[in-house]
Amino acid sequence: MLSSGEIVRKAWNLGKVIPAFNIPYLPMMEPVVRAIVETDSVALIEVARLEWMKFEAQSPRRVMEEYAKWANPAHVRIHLDHVPVIDEDGCEVDYLGIIREAIELGYQSVMVDASRLELTANIAATREVAELAHAAGIPCEAELGSVLGHAEGPLPPYDELFKTRRGFTDIAEARRFVRETQCDWLSVAFGSIHGAISKAARDQKKVEARLNLVHLEQLRRATQIPLVLHGGSGVRQEYVLAAVERGIAKINVGTEIRQAYEVALRETGSGPIAQQKTYDRTVSLIRDYFCTSEVRGALMGDTQ
């Protein structure tokens, strides 16, 4: 069976992308996995700390238990998404404890997010997690720069953010970061934003973000490892496909499928209908947006 690291690295080499679908509500697991399998795709299932703190994923253990019910090794792997060192509310997090637990539970890749720290501290925290992950034989994802949107309160106007390159990953810092941390995948900031998570704003339609492709190309050359696009929901498809050609090998999707589930559940009160809407939206994203249906053979070969 190919590891998560081998799959993402192969996608990067082939100029393809692995979608990574976040699960903030446990009943979303089955329809998302089913959508991936039935489109003959390959994807990651993932959960971030904020999804058990501020939504209803409950815990890394409960997500793993739910994943185990539906997992299909020919199509899916499970990833621990954003575990911050300092969270969106400015609180310190026992990130090493969470990541150690996830490794023990069998998560097949992990992410530490120390991007709220200054560079040297981010490098130190990431290097420690990378060593933990590598000792367990799994890849480590990290973040450099700031993909905005998770903090409480409104963002400044998006056009202002994009024009000023606020939060964009610095090219020279990225080169140093990868060399000193030995992380396997790097989440970089070049125009995307996360979906809002505050209760007042989580139903709002995301801004249609743009991507600075020149900046991304410079990051690709500087890092020479698979890059990750966080905040993948709401970015125009032409930007997404161009970003894949320039080194993005994994794209995180949360808002698109979360809102499909939440809206259907709120409007109908029916869990099965909400699950069906989640399935439908996931299929649409795979087939029509990422164009990653029927690529399993190219990525997985004869080895599953």
Residues assigned a catalytic role: 81
Asked if 43 contacts 21 with a C-beta cutoff of 8 angstroms, the reply is yes
SS (H, E, C) the chain: CCCHHHHHHHHHHHCCCEEEEECCEHHHHHHHHHHHHHCCCCEEEEECHHHHHCCECCCHHHHHHHHHHHCCCCCEEEEEEEEECECCCCCECCHHHHHHHHHHHCCCCEEEECCCCCHHHHHHHHHHHHHHHHHCCCCEEEEECCCCCCCCCCCCCHHHHHHHCCCCCCHHHHHHHHHHHCCCEEEECCCCCCCCCCCCCCCCCCCCCCCCHHHHHHHHHHHCCCEEECCCCCCCHHHHHHHHHCCEEEEEECHHHHHHHHHHHHHHCCHHHHHHHHHHHHHHHHHHHCCCCCCHHHHHCCCC
Which of 249, 173, 181 has its CA nearest to residue 11?
Answer: 249
Q: How many residues does the chain have?
A: 304
Rounded to whole angstroms, the Cα distance separating 46 from 282 reads: 14
Which of 274, 282, 174 has its CA nearest to residue 221?
Answer: 174
Question: What amino acid occupies position 45?
Answer: I
Rounded to whole angstroms, the Cα distance separating 248 from 226 reads: 6
- Which structure tokens are listed for 139? 């890849």
